[in-house]
Amino acid sequence: MLDQPLQGIRVLSMEQAAALPFATRHLADLGAEVIRVQSHKRPAGAMLDGSLHRDKLMLGLDLATPQGAEVFLKVAAACDVVAHNFTPRVMHKYGIDYASVKAVNETVIYCSLTGFGSTGQWADRPLYGPGAEAMSGHNLMIGEPQAMTPGRPGTITYADNICGLNLVFAILAALERRDVDNCGQHIDISLYETGVCQVGAAIAEYSFGGALPQRSGNRDDNYAIHGVFETRGQDRHIAIAVTDEQLETFLDALALDSPERLEAMLKQELGEEIAEKLQSVGIAASPVADAADVSADAQLWSRQYFGFFDDHAEPIPQFGPAWGSGGRLDMRFPHHTGANNSEVLGSIAGYSDAEVSELAASGTIGELKPQRAPPRNTTTDERISRGELSRVDADKGRWRLVRDRVP
């Protein structure tokens, strides 16, 4: 089992989208008790992503009701960390901004994860991960040089994930400082600044010489060979990085007399076999994996990286903590909005059973269970032809064979 050093730390999070849920999921993995606040009157609030909301207590609270802010503040008074990813205007509107929370909890660590930060002329503008990647200059540096339009990093929003991890680091530092001086603080972090931070080298180069970097695709001029190459099979590729010093060893390993013959040769070979040959002589090479490959990866299973929801009927592998450590983490399937109202308000905020019932009767708190998505009217072949899917495996349980083989 993984160590969970944040046991005893309580986090109240009013969260939406991805960046903040990503951060609080890591805090929960580290042992913190995370309470997720959502309105039980918004259907979107019932949509759950198990990877982001596992192991969290769910409080269904309508802040627009007369008692909404009072309930929020009463729970906040019993928490170490209070976090949100709404604009400052929203938090002021409901009376749950930093000053209001600090008034009931002097040592609180209050976290604002917003698009542009809590101050400045754009403070109340909304922004999501893809927009942050575009505004910060990321997208203009992604793609092939001849591409007519900017690229973007697939369906993964790196701005969200990196911003979420930055917030985790800041919270851990704030908790450490609070242990020393017993003082809370306001952590103010933005998606936009997180994105700009990642392109610092390009900004510095432009500031000194006026040069703007060119898109280079998968190439890297610091390597003799650097790229992603097609291999045998449907949509199969391999990533290879060869330094100048390794070039002769690389050519010998693949029985090539020239790098120019590489691409034609790779199209006839299996990526897994080529990767093994190159790795055996110390050259970085890896097949490009899809979800099926990753879920059946023996390295991950041998380190007990994957876990399962301990209260869910069908065992489905769930990815573990980002830091890894060779120990499995127990996981609870995400509950629906408001599923833990009585526990949070009774055991944590100190409301009596009668008071909790009154809050439910007034609509201040409530529950909203997940709504099943309507069935698709399109076939798998149609979805593949539209580019939504690359393929569908008849056997989606290949991971079981790998799990049962590893020690």
Domains and CATH numbers, the chain: 10-199+330-361 (3.40.50.10540), 225-293 (no CATH)
Tokens 């919270």 correspond to what residue?
Answer: 171
Considering just the CA atoms, what is the radius of gyration of the chain in Å? 25
Task: Tell me the pTM.
Answer: 0.85
Tell me if residue 285 falls in helix, strand or coil. strand
pLDDT at 394: 65
DSSP secondary structure of 133-159: HHHTTSGGGSS-TT-SS----TT--HH
Tokens 């127990």 correspond to what residue?
Answer: 330
| Tokens, residue 47 | 């949509």
Answer positive or negative: Cα dihedral of 164, 7, 76, 185.
negative
pLDDT at 307: 78
pLDDT at 382: 73
The beta-carbon contacts of 290-293 under 8 Å, at least 24 apart in sequence, are 290/390, 292/393, 292/396, 292/398
- In the 8-state DSSP scheme, what is residue 286? E
pLDDT at 45: 46
Low-confidence ranges of the chain (pLDDT < 70): 1-2, 43-50, 148, 151-157, 310-315, 322-329, 370-377, 384, 386-391, 393-397, 399, 403, 407
Answer positive or negative: Cα dihedral of 212, 190, 57, 364.
negative
CA 13 to chain centroid, in Å, comes to: 16
Compute the distance between CA of residue 35 and CA of residue 30 in angstroms, rounded to an integer. Answer: 14
Please report which helix (H) or strand (E) contains residue 176, including its range.
helix 158-181
Strand 237-242 relative to strand 284-287, pairing: antiparallel
Determine contact, residues 206/212, Cβ cutoff 8 Å.
yes
AA identity, residue 50: G
| Tokens, residue 70 | 């009072």
- Which one, of 201, 202, 129, lies nearest residue 162 by Cα? 129
pLDDT at 324: 61
Compute the distance between CA of residue 134 and CA of residue 205 in angstroms, rounded to an integer. Answer: 19
Compute the distance between CA of residue 31 and CA of residue 403 in angstroms, rounded to an integer. Answer: 26
Compute the distance between CA of residue 88 and CA of residue 171 in angstroms, rounded to an integer. Answer: 19
pLDDT at 210: 76
Please report which helix (H) or strand (E) contains residue 197, including its range.
helix 191-198
pLDDT at 46: 43
What are the backbone dihedrals phi and psi of residue 78, each rounded to the nearest 5 degrees, phi first? -105, 15
pLDDT at 297: 87
Compute the distance between CA of residue 179 and CA of residue 107 in angstroms, rounded to an integer. Answer: 10
